[in-house]
């Protein structure tokens, strides 16, 4: 039943794009790329936790990603430049996760699928989990959209209007953890951050409003998912990295067009 | 009538250092209050505490229930990755109709900028757009932090005229921090002079005569002060340019 598993893979990829593209815009606007890295790398630790306790992988990843995101969110709350701190956390989380997984018997063979994803092996249940999680992320973002944008622009501006910048940050943190948990099966812990940042960056030159940028990012993310899958079949390459490669190719095209677009704007 | 904002024994710290102490102020409906003080005297910290962005170390800030604040920050860094047209910005955080947004821009003298990117505006245009946005939220009080920074003399004069017009037509209170001592003080009902605490307060005339104010803005202020009085005494009889006094005005700010 080759058709079925292609369909499931395509649906899984689109589900991830649905959550990652609009959330990725906030990651880019708020310069949270490293934040995304650290949170997604922590997912491997979540995998270890899930395997050790017989929890579903989704639950383990969600729990650890959320904990990691909250820790980072608290540590960087004071808006001190925390580039180095985030770098430390991102790599420490990954290393710790890999070490933790090595303590669990019989997982070595599976490790690669958690690092790079295993989109061709997703089950119908996985697809349902992915779309539910992605739907939640999208609903959160739509619900808080105006407040999130205002607090992204300026925390003071938001506060003066009665919006708690801290609460909006927590909502993004929650959305990020959910996205990581949803995406680990598809692109793997190492490349989740790529699906956040690359489609958003691809969309930027074409957009004149935040909403347009999110929509174009969604288009770029979806195209990357489907094109990457197609490439993986055609050239027999690993699916997760193929999707990210496709996303990067779209970004390169967008970056090449960007000077022309800027000239047209004037 | 209860005040819009009131502080009790407010003490603010920044990086572990107390920048402001014993602040007891209140702002009533419809009044224009100006805060003056040297750099580092706690002006911006006070404004940020009043809007709720800084938690006081001691004391309290009481805002009237449901108080709507129109905040105009000193500046706003728009990240280059965030596409934002002027009209989209006017819809944050509360959406308004396109007609209302356009009218607000026309009011602010920047009616044709709606489709421009926010990051591509000049300093003066940007400040006017910030003001237009703040007014769209139908504020009870406008809070302006050095809102005329980066504006030239005619630009800031027009800016203050607009604020005065806003106060008259909408009756909202205005609280502002400014360096343009002479212009600002002439337009104020009340002036608060800060230097780590409220060192004097009252009508512009009272503050200008206060020894505490003179000690802070000392010799360098002579020109500005003279100009201020000039304005105050004659502002209704003529409106010629005061360019000859600008150099003195530039000297008024003591090294912090």
Q: What rounded mean pLDDT belongs to chain B? A: 79
Q: What is the 3-state secondary structure (H, E, C) of B17-86?
A: EEEEEEECCEECCCCEEEEECCCCCCHHHHHHHHHCCCCCCEEEEEECCCCCEEEECCCCCCCCCCCCEH
Residue numbers in A near B127 (CB within 8 A) = none
- Which pLDDT tens digit goes with each residue over A33-80? 888 888 999 999 998 888 888 888 889 999 999 998 888 888 776 555
- In angstroms, the CA B243 to CA A254 distance is 50
Inspect the interface and report whether the beta carbons of A152 and B82 lie closer than 8 Å: yes
Question: In total, how many domains does chain A have?
Answer: 1
Q: Is B138 in the A-facing interface, judged by CB distances under 8 Å? A: no
B53 and A CB contact within 8 Å? yes
Contacts of B88 in chain A (CB under 8 A): 209-210
Higher pLDDT, B250 or A34: A34
Whether residue B93 and residue A213 make contact (CB cut-off 8 A), yes or no, is no
Q: Tell me the pLDDT tens digit for each residue of B108-147.
A: 778 888 899 998 888 888 888 998 898 888 889 999 988 7
Q: Which residues of B187-226 are buried (b: 16+ CB within 10 A; e: fewer)?
A: bbebbbbbbbbbbbbeebeebbebeebbebbeeebebbbe
**Per-residue pLDDT at A265:** 59
Q: A155 at the B interface (CB within 8 A)?
A: yes
Every domain of chain B and the residues it spans: 5-68+179-250
CATH number at residue A35: 1.10.3470.10
In this structure, is residue A79 part of a structural domain? yes
A262 assigned to some structural domain: no
B76–A154: do the CB atoms touch at under 8 Å? yes
Residue A116 lies in a domain: yes
Decide if A227 is inside a domain.
no
pLDDT band at B226 (very low <50, low <70, confident <90, very high): very low
Residues B212-241, mean pLDDT to the nearest whole number? 50
Mean pLDDT on B43-69: 90
Residue B52 has pLDDT above 80, yes or no: yes
List the Cα angle A157/A158/A163 in 5-degree steps.
Answer: 155
The least confident of A174-178, B112-116, B159-163 is: B159-163
The pLDDT tens digits for A88-124 are 888 888 899 889 888 887 655 578 888 888 898 899 9
What is the 8-class DSSP label of residue A161? T
Residue A266 lies in a domain: no
Mean pLDDT of B201-220: 75
Q: Which of B52, B78, B85 sits opposite A208 (nearest CB)?
A: B85
Q: With respect to residue A223, please indicate whether it lies within any of the assigned structural domains.
A: no
Reported as a single tens digit per residue, the pLDDT across A141-157 is: 999 999 999 999 999 99
Tell me the pTM.
0.85
Nearest CA of chain B to the CA of A44: how many Å?
30
Phi and psi at residue B26, to the nearest 5°: -140, 145
Nearest 5°: phi and psi at B192?
A: -110, 125
SS3 B254: coil
- Residue A76 corresponds to which tokens in the numbers above? 């960087």
Residue A58 counted as domain residue: yes
3.40.50.300, 3.30.450.20, 3.10.150.10, 2.40.30.10: CATH of B5-68+179-250: 3.40.50.300
Give the residue numbers spanning the domain of A35: 2-191
Q: What pLDDT shows up at residue B255?
A: 39
Whether residue A49 is contained in a domain is answered as yes
Phi, psi (deg, nearest 5) at residue A261: -65, -40
């Amino acid at each position: 039943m080759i058709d079925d598993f292609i369909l499931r893979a395509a649906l899984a990829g689109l589900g991830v794009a649905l959550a990652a593209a609009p959330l990725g815009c906030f990651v880019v606007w708020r310069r949270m790329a490293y934040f995304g890295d650290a949170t997604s790398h922590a997912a491997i630790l979540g995998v270890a936790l899930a395997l050790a306790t017989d929890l579903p992988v989704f639950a383990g990843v969600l729990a650890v990603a959320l904990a990691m995101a909250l820790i980072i969110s608290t540590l960087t709350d004071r808006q001190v430049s925390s580039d180095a701190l985030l770098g430390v956390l991102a790599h420490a989380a990954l290393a710790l996760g890999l070490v933790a997984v090595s303590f669990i018997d019989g997982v070595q063979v599976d490790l690669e699928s958690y690092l790079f994803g295993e989109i061709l092996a997703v089950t119908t249940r996985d697809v349902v989990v992915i779309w539910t999680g992605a739907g939640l992320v999208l609903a959160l973002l739509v619900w808080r959209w105006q407040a999130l944008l205002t607090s992204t622009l300026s925390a003071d501006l938001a506060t003066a209007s009665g919006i708690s910048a801290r609460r909006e940050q927590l909502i993004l943190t929650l959305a990020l953890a959910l996205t990581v948990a949803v995406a680990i099966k598809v692109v793997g812990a190492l490349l989740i951050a790529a699906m956040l940042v690359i489609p958003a960056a691809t969309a930027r030159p074409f957009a004149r409003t935040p909403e347009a940028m999110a929509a174009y990012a969604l288009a770029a993310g979806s195209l990357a998912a489907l094109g990457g899958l197609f490439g993986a079949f055609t050239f027999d390459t690993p699916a997760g990295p193929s999707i990210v490669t496709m996303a990067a190719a779209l970004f390169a095209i967008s970056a090449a067009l960007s000077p022309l677009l800027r000239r047209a704007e004037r | 009538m209860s005040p819009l904002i009131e502080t009790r024994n407010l003490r603010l710290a920044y990086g572990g250092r107390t920048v402001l102490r014993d602040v007891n102020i209140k702002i009533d409906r419809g009044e224009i209050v100006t805060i003056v003080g040297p750099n580092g005297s706690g002006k911006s910290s006070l404004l940020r505490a009043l809007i709720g962005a800084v938690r006081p170390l001691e004391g309290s800030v009481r805002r009237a229930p449901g108080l709507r604040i129109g905040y105009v920050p000193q500046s706003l860094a728009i990240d280059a990755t965030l596409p934002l047209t002027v009209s989209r910005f006017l819809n944050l955080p509360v959406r308004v109709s396109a007609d209302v947004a356009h009218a607000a821009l026309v009011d602010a003298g920047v009616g044709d900028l709606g489709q421009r990117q926010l990051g591509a505006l000049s300093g003066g245009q940007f400040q006017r757009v910030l003001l237009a946005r703040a007014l769209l939220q139908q504020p009870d009080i406008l809070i302006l932090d050095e809102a005329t920074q980066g504006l030239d003399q005619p630009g800031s004069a027009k800016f203050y005229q607009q604020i005065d017009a806003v106060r008259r037509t909408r009756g909202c209170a205005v609280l502002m921090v400014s360096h343009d001592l002479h212009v600002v003080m002439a337009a104020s009902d009340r002036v608060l002079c800060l230097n780590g605490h409220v060192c004097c307060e009252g009508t512009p005339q009272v503050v200008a005569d206060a020894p505490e104010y003179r000690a802070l803005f000392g010799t360098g202020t002579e020109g500005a002060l003279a100009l201020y009085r000039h304005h105050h005494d004659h502002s209704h009889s003529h409106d010629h340019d005061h360019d000859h006094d600008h150099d003195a005005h530039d000297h008024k700010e003591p090294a912090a």
